[in-house]
């Protein structure tokens, strides 16, 4: 009579690194640097190296922006330290014609899809060259040339958009896939439920990619839901839900590929739960020591996705410690140069504030614009 | 020309535009086979099929959120919210997403769509089948609000709306879905957005209304004429951006203004109209700008005809305003 | 890797009466009128007879009100024909101190909990003796003495209220249980998700009672969700989900009792999916022939809950056909008399419109009230 | 007396009332151990425990909906919406449920609660950490709206609100959470709801403001005084029901009025104030009622200080209004 009667771990306890070794969690990278051949997505070496470099860039960028924020040079930052494999592995699977709907930690994916680093940094400074014209907070970049949706602070609102895009593609007889990122906390939102349900009913090609970093600001996963896992929530919508080691780039690629194939082939949506951990504060506005102990964090730092990929590359013999050091230096330099190039650009022009509310400026915005300008 | 009621005019506009533009899709609760609880989408499912006339699960936020995605991809969605009273589950999608998408993406994206919704009282609908929430959306930068009061405008405005570049909330006065009927051209035509109609010219008092209450206002204006008060009657048609020139010109001429709406008075759109006019026409005003509106209570069932600002109350407002002496 | 991989029926097909015989669906009443002793809730005979009478009353009331609506004497009606066992069986389990949050078809439950028939009918007419003072549409009755929450048209909004009540009870060290009714369509709403999730996380004593009548106005269950069942959705919230033959009074009582016991004992919430069928139109505003075939309806009419209980009573030998005919006549008379007693009561007073917006009337409502009165 | 900032005053009020009334519970996202993203609930979890200071899952509709149920059962919930910009997922619960519960049950039930939420711009929050949606709720019959502008009022108004019989939306001007500081009594006291404060008496122009913009208005008023314009400065404190007597008396005296708010102009609360005053004081008015407000765009990030109606713009409005000659 009970639909749910199998024994399982107590969802009221936090996930431990050991839990990632559970049989239902897809892993590829082993501690010794080898890849489990049963699930290895067999990524080409040049792509592996490019992905590795992008992970390093992503990490370095995050570190640098936090510093700039502390120095008062940037207003706010929210990054993906420790979650790079989840972000970049999934984005890697997506084709040029596919669409990505980031939450707000997926800057690496945006860069991968062609947003120039300088333009990204313009968004950090909210200046005149910011592609969103200084209108949103930093880390709310948009990059239409890469089919990257507009980032919104209200959580999970992008999920139904990803459903709508994939649905529209199907109606237009295209096989374009849409992937939406979101966090574990966001599974509690209205939009998670609605988007999953619509996607299930209409069998649209959407990938729901959940970065389960186990925290929603100060609220741990165990207080977010009593379900056994996040992946299991897929059952409520008649779609498959998969769990994957989110710090394992190859596993993330493998899981996302499977979901992508389903989507492309008209078999419908998939929920991917990438298990990872938010090793830093939520954003530059947060201080996690107010609500969690450092020793909970430590074991997860051991599973750092960059370390793990590096181990694999060294094992494969396609990368050396020297190359590693050199490329890290290059990246630092690249970021420094790009920052220097854009940091002192002027703010957006006052009159730009009145554009883009509508396609054309109606009389009231024209009037407000005139008033604002006359005041200058 | 054909004789149509407002509902048929809406249906006709949808059908014509779906024939003309293959990117138009209609989605919402019960809009498919059933043709909508008011039958506004009747026949569309049969003509255009389930891919373009879509019954959705019961979630207004999903309807609007999915429509936004469709719009990004190049479709022109026409989502329906079954009753305006049920628009709140979609509030976040409308206010924080649809209305801001163009702006916040720096103009990289846009998500034009027409959100159709029947609104207003007078059908014995009580709290939740009677609301007129227009002012919440007028306050929201990035979305336009259109309300027809007759079949001709309904069809022409809806056709315009489906060809516009911005998101539009298209509110249909359900009380007069069937009662408002008239001659409507059978083919394609448009009525311009953002243009009010001066339905009757007059010298004494400007009366501003829209939707179902327009007809109450018209009745009051006719009765006022019998008392020798010559009203100028304006049907706004587009609430926002409002046709300020027409309003200001009329207010300057008459110096006396009555605004009518069925939404609750406080922070209703009447307050904005009053403010705009007194800002522009202060020296011409000969009487306080008068609001005749719904009361500041939830919409009641049995007493709905007392709640609504019907002709007798409007007439009272007109007479009071006409007779006002400073 | 897939969380959901067991074979099952295709959720895109409508449920058939046979599906109610699936092993995971709790049934007690057998076609021959006997009760399956393994699950028989062993209701006392006098209660059984009382429940049967209430089912008849509920049915007769629904039929009568539809007639009155057709005659223009009542503005609107929405009833529970064919769903009486689901409504009354579940309500029967609830104690006096427990709370009920109806959707809008559970008038039988309200009457069971002490609302006098005449007062109920006053709500139909929206007159001066209507307990909600003529403010809401018919069928939006409220009856605080019976701990019946206020009925709202917006679907499923009562679900988090039932969570809040049960939660508050626990905080006040009481074991009061709250039961919320809702339909299959309502599982798609924001509030279903939120309320289920909160209830799971805080383990509150709420019973989520879903009348799966397989239609949401014109939208069939198969277009509402792609999940295997509605009960399975409970897994997404770490709570048990049970399926029960909703046209079987005894099965409904048994399933609700189990849920009630869990709730009372602090073991948390339960989702009960009562499988039934909306054999009539959605409400007096609806004409189902526009979207479904009559022959889909027929087989479900065979499973009529009143017929099935009658069979059982006759089998038990505690009821006769003669008594049956007599009580049906009594009930008709009771409804006729109650209607006659209240139909011509006056409408609410105009000034009542301005009460109860707030505890006290502020200046603006006082002003509006004066204006309205001066106009009389 | 103790020196407190506005945040500490809010925290103090919560603590005192939780000590006094065991039925008060605080719930919301991150309000527990963390003490809220602004730390408004700091220390409450330690003092009152997880049963009364509750971290909820991430769903604003659930927070308000559960609070409603708690309130029915006799608790006094004080839910927090982390930012007013995130109130829309709870819009249906607030507008259709909380605000109407007493009315629609014929007075059989009531659901008093205090919904706390930080609002407003000026902290570099862009579109979604800056909004001022008060007018949406003022338009909604059945809920009151309170906004303090200083620590003394914050504590006293919040204590009053937690003892009131109606649902109250308590909006906290986050821009001045720390900047507004002053002497606050340590123990229990209340500031009455629905009473505005005339902070400065004057003869020439009435200036009406609230929240963070009150301080901008005050600065402008001081500067106006230097130009010989003697303003009467009113801090509304309760937005709705507004203290109409104080407003009308002042407008009758000065005949000139400026209303300031940071929400977008169109259908903002300023429009209602303008309408109410011109209805009551028409013959006394010597200039158009002036609104100095946020613009009709989403709230911008980089240009937020241009968007906000800060002192220089307010001063301009005051001067224009003072000098207006018909
Ligand atoms: C609707 C809404 N409510 C609240 C917030 C405030 N908020 C910002 S991030 C966050 C936590 C999100 O957690 P999760 O979804 O797990 O994503 P993560 O940050 O861990 O990647 C909260 C509560 C918000 N942005 N939107
Ligand atoms: C939020 C909301 N959206 C739409 C409606 C209109 N509506 C009323 S009943 C209904 C169908 C409900 O179906 P279900 O939940 O299965 O309940 P049933 O009527 O079958 O008992 C709809 C769409 C509503 N009342 N509330
Ligand atoms: Mg998280
Ligand atoms: Mg149903």
Q: What residues line ligand 2, using a CB cutoff of 6 Å? A: B 29, 58, 82, 86, 89; C 103, 105, 153-155, 182-186, 211, 213, 215-217, 278, 282
**DSSP bridge partners of B73:** none
pLDDT at position D91: 98
| Contact yes or no for D271 and B267 at CB 8 A | yes
pLDDT at D222 over 60: yes
Residues of B in Cβ contact (< 8 Å) with C285: 37
C263-282 pLDDT, tens digit each:
999 999 999 999 999 999 99
pLDDT at position A3: 32
Q: What is the CA radius of gyration of chain A?
A: 21
Q: Does A23 touch chain B (CB under 8 A)?
A: no
Exposed/middle/buried for D243, CB within 10 Å: 0-12, 13-18, 19+?
buried
**DSSP bridge partners of A271:** A208, A241
pLDDT band at D32 (very low <50, low <70, confident <90, very high): very high
Pick from C216, C223, C225, C284 the residue to mutate for probing ligand 2's pocket: most ligand atoms within 8 Å of its CB: C216
Q: What percent of chain A has pLDDT over 90?
A: 93
A56-79 pLDDT, tens digit each:
999 999 999 999 999 999 999 999
Q: What percent of chain A has pLDDT over 70?
A: 98
pLDDT at position A2: 32
DSSP per residue, D180-220 = -EEEE-SS-----TT--EEEE--SSEEEEE-HHHHHHHHHH
Torsion of CA C66, C67, C71, C72, to 10 degrees: -20
B55-79 pLDDT, tens digit each:
999 999 999 999 999 999 999 999 9
CB of A319 sitting under 6 A from ligand 1: no
Q: Averaged over A326-346, what is the pLDDT?
A: 98
Q: Which atom of ligand 2 is nearest to the CA of C217?
A: 11
Q: How many A-B residue pairs are in contact by the CB < 8 A criterion?
A: 152
C14 CA distance to ligand 2 centroid (A)?
19
pLDDT band at A375 (very low <50, low <70, confident <90, very high): confident
pLDDT at position C8: 57
pLDDT at position A6: 42
pLDDT at position C9: 66
Residue B197: phi and psi, rounded to 5, are -110, 125
CA distance C368 to B309: 12
pLDDT at D262 over 50: yes
Tokens of A283: 């954003």
**Low-confidence residues of chain B, pLDDT below 70?**
none
Q: Which residues fall within 8 angstroms of residue D233, CB to CB, at 6 or more apart?
A: D198, D199, D200, D202, D207, D209, D217, D218, D221
CB B116 within 8 Å of CB B170: yes
Instruction: Say if pTM beats, i.e. exceeds, 0.95.
Output: yes
Q: Residue C371's closest chain B neighbor by CA?
A: B313
C163: helix, coil or strand?
A: helix
If phi > 0 it is left, if psi is from -120 to 50 it is alpha, else beta; for residue A215 that is: beta
Q: Averaged over A324-348, what is the pLDDT?
A: 98
pLDDT at position A13: 79
User: What distance, in Å, lies between the first and last C-alpha atoms of chain A?
Assistant: 72
pLDDT at position C264: 98
pLDDT at position C12: 75
Residues of D in Cβ contact (< 8 Å) with C193: 59
CA distances to B64, D34, D45, D183 from D155, rounded to whole Å, are 40, 21, 19, 11
pLDDT at position A8: 57
Residues of C in Cβ contact (< 8 Å) with B30: 217-219
Residue A348: phi and psi, rounded to 5, are -60, 155
> CA nearest D268: which of C44, C56, B34, B139?
B139
Please name which ligand lies nearest the alpha carbon of C181. 2
DSSP letter, residue D231 = E
pLDDT at position A16: 87
pLDDT at position C13: 80
pLDDT at position C4: 36
Q: What percent of chain D has pLDDT over 90?
A: 99
Question: Interface partners of C (3+ CB pairs, < 8 Å)?
Answer: A, B, D
| Contact yes or no for A223 and D55 at CB 8 A | yes
Per-residue pLDDT of chain C (376 residues; tens, 9 = 90+): 333 334 456 777 888 888 888 889 999 999 999 999 999 999 999 999 999 999 999 999 999 999 999 999 999 999 999 999 999 999 999 999 999 999 999 999 999 999 999 999 999 999 999 999 999 999 999 999 999 999 999 999 999 999 999 999 999 999 999 999 999 999 999 999 999 999 999 999 999 999 999 999 999 999 999 999 999 999 999 999 999 999 999 999 999 999 999 999 999 999 999 999 999 999 999 999 999 999 999 999 999 999 999 999 999 999 999 999 999 999 999 999 999 999 999 999 999 999 999 999 999 999 999 999 998 7
CA distance B63 to chain C (A): 11
The residue whose CA has the least distance to atom 1 of ligand 2 is: C154
Q: Does B239 touch chain D (CB under 8 A)?
A: no
Q: Which residues fall within 8 angstroms of residue C329, CB to CB, at 6 or more apart?
A: none
pLDDT at position C5: 36
CA distance A356 to B75: 20
Q: Which residues fall within 8 angstroms of residue D55, CB to CB, at 6 or more apart?
A: A218, A219, A223, D28, D29, D30, D31, D32, D33, D34
C321 CA distance to ligand 1 centroid (A)?
63
pLDDT band at A4 (very low <50, low <70, confident <90, very high): very low
Q: What is the CA radius of gyration of chain C?
A: 21
Please, what is the average pLDDT of chain D? 98
Closest CB to B68: pick one of A143, A161, A176: A161
CA distances to A201, D18, D94, D279 from D138, rounded to whole Å, are 38, 28, 12, 19
Kindly report whether the peptide bond that precedes residue B220 is cis, defined as omega within 30 degrees of 0. no
Q: Which atom of ligand 1 is nearest to the CA of D30?
A: 23
Exposed/middle/buried for B121, CB within 10 Å: 0-12, 13-18, 19+?
buried
Interface of D with B in 281-320 (CB under 8 A): 282-283, 285, 287-291, 296-298
pLDDT at position D212: 98
B162-218 pLDDT, tens digit each:
999 999 999 999 999 999 999 999 999 999 999 999 999 999 999 999 999 999 999
Tokens of C238: 């770490």
Q: Which atom of ligand 2 is nearest to the CA of C182?
A: 15
A166 CA distance to ligand 2 centroid (A)?
27
pLDDT at position C171: 98
Residues of B in Cβ contact (< 8 Å) with A140: 104
CB of A121 sitting under 6 A from ligand 1: no
Q: Residue C376's closest chain B neighbor by CA?
A: B306
| Contact yes or no for D266 and B128 at CB 8 A | no
């Amino acid at each position: 009579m009970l639909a749910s009667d199998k024994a399982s771990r107590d969802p009221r306890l936090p996930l431990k690194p050991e839990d990632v070794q559970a049989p239902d969690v897809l892993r590829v990278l082993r501690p010794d640097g080898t890849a489990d051949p049963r699930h290895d997505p067999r990524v080409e070496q040049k792509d592996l190296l490019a992905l590795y470099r992008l992970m390093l860039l992503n990490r370095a960028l995050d570190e640098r922006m936090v510093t700039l924020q502390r120095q008062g040079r940037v207003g706010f930052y929210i990054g993906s330290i420790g979650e790079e494999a989840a972000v970049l592995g999934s984005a890697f699977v997506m084709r040029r014609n596919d669409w990505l709907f980031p939450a707000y930690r997926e800057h690496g994916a945006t860069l991968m899809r062609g947003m120039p680093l300088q333009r990204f940094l313009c968004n950090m400074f909210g200046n005149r060259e910011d592609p969103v014209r200084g209108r949103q907070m930093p880390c709310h970049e948009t990059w239409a040339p890469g089919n990257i949706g507009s980032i919104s602070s209200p959580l999970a609102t992008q999920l139904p958009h990803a459903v709508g895009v994939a649905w529209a593609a199907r109606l237009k007889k295209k096989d374009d896939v849409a992937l939406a990122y979101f966090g574990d906390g966001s599974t509690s939102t209205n939009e998670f439920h609605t988007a999953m349900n619509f996607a299930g009913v209409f069998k649209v090609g959407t990938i729901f990619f959940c970065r389960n970093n186990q925290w929603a600001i100060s609220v741990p996963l165990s207080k977010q839901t009593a379900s056994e896992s996040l992946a299991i929530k897929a059952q409520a919508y008649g779609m498959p839900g998969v769990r994957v080691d989110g710090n394992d780039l190859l596993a993330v690629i493998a899981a996302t590929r499977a979901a992508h194939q389903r989507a492309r082939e008209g078999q419908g949506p998939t929920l991917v739960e990438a298990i990872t951990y938010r090793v830093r504060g939520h954003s530059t506005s947060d201080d996690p020591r107010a609500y969690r102990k450092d020793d909970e964090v430590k074991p997860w730092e051991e599973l750092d996705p960059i370390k793990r990929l590096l181990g694999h590359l060294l094992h494969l013999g396609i990368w050396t410690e020297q190359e590693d050091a050199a490329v890290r230096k290059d990246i630092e330099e690249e970021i420094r140069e790009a920052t220097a190039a854009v940091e002192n650009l002027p703010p957006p022009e006052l009159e730009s504030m009145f554009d883009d509310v509508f396609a054309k400026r109606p009389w009231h915005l024209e009037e407000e614009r005139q008033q604002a300008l006359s005041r200058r | 020309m054909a004789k149509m009621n407002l509902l048929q005019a809406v249906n006709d506009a949808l059908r014509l535009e779906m024939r003309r533009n293959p990117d138009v899709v209609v989605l919402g609760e019960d809009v498919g086979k059933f043709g909508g609880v008011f039958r506004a989408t009747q026949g569309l499912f049969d003509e255009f099929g389930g891919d373009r006339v879509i019954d959705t699960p019961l979630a207004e936020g999903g309807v609007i959120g999915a429509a936004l995605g469709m719009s990004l991809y190049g479709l022109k969605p026409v989502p329906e919210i079954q009753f305006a009273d049920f628009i709140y589950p979609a509030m976040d999608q409308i206010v924080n997403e649809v209305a801001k998408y163009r702006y916040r993406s720096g103009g990289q994206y846009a998500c034009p769509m027409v959100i159709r919704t029947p609104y207003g009282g007078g059908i014995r609908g009580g709290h939740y089948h009677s609301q007129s929430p227009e002012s919440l959306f007028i306050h929201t930068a990035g979305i336009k609000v259109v309300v027809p009061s007759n079949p001709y405008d309904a069809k022409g405005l809806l056709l315009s709306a489906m060809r516009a570049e911005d998101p539009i909330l298209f509110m249909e006065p359900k009380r007069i879905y069937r009662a408002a009927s008239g001659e409507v051209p059978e083919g394609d035509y448009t009525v311009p957005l953002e243009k009010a109609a001066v339905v009757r010219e007059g010298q004494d008092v400007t009366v501003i209304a829209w939707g179902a209450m327009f007809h109450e206002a018209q009745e009051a204006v006719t009765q006022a004429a019998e008392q020798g008060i010559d009203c100028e009657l304006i049907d706004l048609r587009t609430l926002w951006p409002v046709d300020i020139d027409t309003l200001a010109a009329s207010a300057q001429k008459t110096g006396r203004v009555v605004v009518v709406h069925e939404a609750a008075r406080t922070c209703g759109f009447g307050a904005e109209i009053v403010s705009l006019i007194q800002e522009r026409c202060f020296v011409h005003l000969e009487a306080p700008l008068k609001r005749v509106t719904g009361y500041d209570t939830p919409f009641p069932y049995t007493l709905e005809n007392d709640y609504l600002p019907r002709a007798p109350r409007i007439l009272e407002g007109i007479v009071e305003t006409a007779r006002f002496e400073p």
